[in-house]
Amino acid sequence: MDITAVAPSTRTVPKGLVPASLVLGGTLLSLVGLTWDIQWHSDVGPDTFFTMPHLFLYAGSALSGLASLVVVLMTTADAKRDRTVDPIVGGRAVGVFGRTFAAPVGYLISGTGAALFLVYGLWDQWWHGLYGFDAVIDSPPHIGLLLSISITMVGAVMIFAVARDQRWGTCGTIAAAAVLLVFSMVTAIGLRAVPGALANPVSVGTASLSVMILFMASHALSRRGGALAVGVAVAVLQAVFWWFSPWAAEVYADATGLPLRDYTDGIPDLPNMIPMCLVIVAVAVELLHKVPAWIPGALGGAIIAACVPLQRVLVYGGTFPVNARYLTTIVLAAAFGAGAAVLGRRFGQMLRHLAPVKEDRHA
Amino acid sequence: MRRTLFALLGTAALLLGLAGPSLAFEPVNVVHTEKVQAGPYNLTVGFSTWPVKAMQSLDFTFVPEDGIADKKGTLTMVWGGELMDDSPLARHPRKREVWGLDIYALPAPGEWTLRFDLDGPAGPATGELKNLKVMEQPGPPMGLSWAISTIPLFGLIAFIVVAWRRTRHADR
């Protein structure tokens, strides 16, 4: 009589997936908090340290930071005991403070961003004490906070790019790059501080950052469809936030007994900062993959800058101003887009060097 | 894994629970007022800090003598002859019985003019608060504030430069 032993189910979570997901989850919380907070200020207004959108922002950096810290401490413990450190978890370990800590480079960056967030939180608190609780997104401390969160998001891209030859690594790289791209559209508002009489610096910045991140993700994954996948992921985030941001602001206002502002237009602020034409640019990047990167980069930059007033007319109505400033903006966006594409391609190659992977590791 | 999930959900619930009662919005405290006569309408402009400094946010209130119920209007802000803002008069979010601007900062020092175009039972009329002196901004110069705030960006650039140099020869 044959006795067939049934093996117990041994579904294991791939190594590195859990902390990577926690860091990505933290960056998503930050992004949700940011779109909600911007909408809150535009539709409702009153502010305290403890509004729900602020808590999302704090929780996002806390989650990413704690996950990064735990990984660094575990890696340090393994290194001290001369155990092999698998670079699939965040990349090669580097020494921090001499050899005091051994930190996988991806988690080192994401954790540094979270630590900087705390420092810039204090700087922001001091600023508000001096200047009042202004709801200005592009104040210097706010840009410092946004840059800190962006560094955590760069770390998230690095962490997933290390595992690019596994399905979760590919999906995570696309998601992390999309989150970074969407978030960068807000950070780019800081460029308002640059004189803008001849051209719109925010449009040029938005176009360049979008092109750079598309190329970076595409070359990090080194497979056809990478740029398009990021473009689609950004469009999904844009669609979800288009619904979520005004809804969440209104629901939270109702819950706290606050009315909406007079003359609120209900147009989602952060989602409207994302270029709606990004998918078209991503398709162009895919189709022109055989030509030098600067050509689709310049084209992408020009398309995004050219479509900024189109999107404004589509959303708000009004007129389409074709003037010298508009044309200069397109030319500058094309020039910066060309450079951004070359940089993005190089950054993608750098991401591939984080942990050389074996070709037979494909999941 | 399940325990971690419960811990995360517990933390989230705690955060959500604390966010409700801790939401105590500051009342609007007017510490200085100015009078504006717009035709038949007598308007009181209130400031929550005085004197006004550039970039320092404060609450503005705009109160017609007999209330805002049957009136509407536009507020135009002019700085040194340049139109800076032009928007309908809206109720203050934390003081709904009056018009106002909440936590609003005038961006530049100098002489500002607030022009009120009102329309109500006594017909349309215009009045101006002229020569509103806005002092220099408090705190460090903006260049220094921007230098401090962009340290993460320059840190990231420095990291990229190091990574670039280390991977330069590995590509080809």
SS (H, E, C) chain A: CCCCCCCCCCCCCCCCHHHHHHHHHHHHHHHHHHHHHHHHHHHCCCCCCCCHHHHHHHHHHHHHHHHHHHHHHHHHHHHHCCCCCCCCCCCCEEEECCCCEEEEHHHHHHHHHHHHHHHHHHHHHHHHHHHCCCCCCCCHHHHHHHHHHHHHHHHHHHHHHHCCCCHHHHHHHHHHHHHHHHHHHHHHHHHHHCCCCCCCHHHHHHHHHHHHHHHHHHHHHCCCCHHHHHHHHHHHHHHHHHHHHHHHHHHHHHHCCCCCCCCCCCCCHHHHHCCCCHHHHHHHHHHCCCCCCHHHHHHHHHHHHHHHHHHHHHHHCCCCCCCHHHHHHHHHHHHHHHHHHHHHHHHHHHHHCCCCCCHHHCC
Residues with pLDDT less than 50, chain A:
1, 359-363
pLDDT at B21: 44
Six-digit token pair at A257? Answer: 């007994």
Domains of chain B with CATH codes: 32-135 (2.60.40.2480)
B50, amino acid identity:
W
Residue A247 CB coordination number (10 Å): 15
Which residue has 């971690």 as its token pair? B4
Q: Between chains, do A46 and B167 touch, taking CB under 8 Å as contact?
A: no
Six-digit token pair at A245? Answer: 């941001």
pLDDT at A360: 43
Phi, psi of B117, rounded to the nearest 5 degrees: -105, 110
pLDDT at B14: 58
| Residue of chain A whose alpha carbon sits nearest to that of B99 | A262
- Distance, in angstroms, between B167 CA and closest chain A CA? 6
Q: Between chains, do A132 and B148 touch, taking CB under 8 Å as contact?
A: no
Which residues from chain A sit within 8 angstroms of residue B23, using beta carbons? 48, 50-51, 256
Six-digit token pair at A47? Answer: 């502010």
pLDDT at A264: 87
From first to last of its 172 residues, what are the pLDDT tens digits of chain B?
566 666 656 665 655 555 554 456 778 899 999 999 999 999 999 999 999 999 999 999 999 998 999 999 999 999 988 888 889 999 998 899 999 999 899 999 999 999 999 999 999 999 999 989 999 999 899 999 999 999 999 999 999 999 999 888 765 5
Q: Between chains, do B16 and A52 touch, taking CB under 8 Å as contact?
A: yes
Q: Which of A192, A22, A128, A4 is nearest to B8 (CA)?
A: A22
